[in-house]
Structure 1
Amino acid sequence: MDGDGNSAYGHKTFTRSRSHFADRVTVDGRDGWPVAAGRYRLVVSRACPWASRAVISRRLLGLEDALPMAIVDPIQDDRSWRFTLDPGGRDPVLGIRYLSEAYDRREKDYPGGVSVPAVVDVPSGRLVTNDYQRLTLDLATEWKALHRPGAPDLYPAARREEIDQVMDEVYRDVNNGVYQAGFASRQEDYEEAYTALFRRLELLAERLAGQRYLVGDTLTEADIRLFTTLVRFDAVYHGHFKCNRWKLSENPVLWAYARDLFQTPGFGDTVDFDHIKRHYYQVHSGINPTGIVPLGPDPGGWLSPHHREELGGRPFGDGTPPGPVPPGERVAARGRPA
């Protein structure tokens, strides 16, 4: 089980576990969980790229009040994700010390790992879903009645086939590919993942050389999913996971694209480089047994001009940017670029 709580790796190859709890929160409540403002709590780690998708989507769509958020400590112990960032070491709403307690209330002695993002039903304290692949799509579609005025359409019906295809490629070779390289225990497995990763990144760079976003001229779910890997690339994947053909900052197109997203409200203001680095370097003891967290790279470059606006595009379509980050959700200074 890796530090993100979503995967397993053995002697031969790394495999990412499927989400065991795949219930959905929907308008019609067909799985027993109807959309309702304030009923659920989104539990995330700012370190985890899979959880970061949900953090970004929630902010872009303006669901902060409708779907309150809990942030776990980036460092896990033998019971996995814990609420040690909160006073008394307990989530103030759920009253629990470990996310595993919500899992236990749903299914006692569940054999899988405790993963984020997780949606918990506040009245019962039970886990609803840990389906990281479906969660953000439902936030974009099933939760529409609770979106803020001016929220973007992150999963437009007319573009879904193309978005799905791009997301599948990005997931296989990039999102999951860095893990396949990083946790490989055989040279040939590492080289296969490494080769597929950089081949896909180069294809994405070609795609993005002439267009601002991955699909169409507005932000979509596809951009969110690529961003959460790119923003971690130089800080952890390049060295820690041996994905070192080149740094993101050495690829002119992808570096400009990633900076463009980082500087878009809803993206960079959710990123905590301190949480990211401490999690990967201190939790993955099999890869980094000393637990030493590198001081670099300097994150200041994320704020440098990118000039991607010259390609046109409308980040939020006919909508508007999200408002300021709620005070209780602002990233601490040590996790942000100066």
Structure 2
Amino acid sequence: MEADPAAKPIFEANDDVRVPGFVLPVSKLVSEEAAAAQRGRSSAQPFDTAESADAVTRRKQINAMVAPAVAKLREQFAVKITGTTIGGIDVLEITPRDASHDRDRVLINLHGGAFTLGWEGIALIEAIPVAALGCYRVITVNYRMAPEHRHPAAVEDVATVYAALLQDYAPPRIGIYGGSAGGALTAQVAAWLSARGLPQAGAIGIFGAGGVPFEAGESGYIAGYLDGFFPPPPADGTDPIDITKGYFSGTDNNDASAWPAFHPEILAKFPPALIITGTRAVDLSPAIYTNSQLIKAGVRSTLIVGEGMGHCYYYNLALPEARDAYAAIVAFFRENLK
């Protein structure tokens, strides 16, 4: 479809903007690898988002989809992966195979997957590069998810693991990070710790998310038509499909334990934060808003916005932009975990 050069947005009386159809070219500011990836994309959904798909099916689908990427990471990075429990919670411990990791610091990873899936596939995609590139011990947590569980189950599990790690690590030397649902969960954990009298972590990484719901800003609409990973909200104003399968059912959108970026007094107790998003990402608005609110609350926050990048673009290490993101992640935790 060719864009109509005469087409203009129409500003409705209710403040809605009626956007005409247009063609979005690949940005000239992205790497050639990213441009090639954009040109080769399919509009097919990567996994079944239908309401009828049960949790077990969806978890198998996503793990099968990412299995080749996990295998490639295990070939690329020499890491040791050990399954264990901490505080009674199942975790995977990822360390450099040569045991060269920092013995005084640890990172907790919270995997993505819409609070319904992502264990173990996405967890390994998020944990392996950071453990290898940063020479860290990374503990990735198998937190409780929907539809079997509801908020704050995941936060409680992460807090349990965190409290157990306090026996071996000083709080300023514990970092927490995650992507997508895991990024939102990271913000929730930072709020939870201070609210329950636990010492705050040394630094957090909120990637592919923010401290507010994904649909709270404009990017949920824009990314639905640009990135294609998540569908845009229905045009008729009805509620969108709940990809969390009810994880936040019964939770008020103003609940500080779920969406802390709406609460300056909570954010003021956050540690330094690194936030990563992309111009085509559904999480762009939540990330921008959370970064701004953290700065207003007096917290050091750094925002990285990948040009032409979609949701959790850093998962794809074939992109120079992803490698830059991992370099920033490693540098951030090295600087802030005292």
Alignment TM-score, normalising by the size of structure 1: 0.31
Q: Which has the higher contact order (CA 8 A, sep 6+)?
A: 1
Alignment TM-score, normalising by the size of structure 2: 0.31
* Structure having the larger proportion of residues in strand: 2
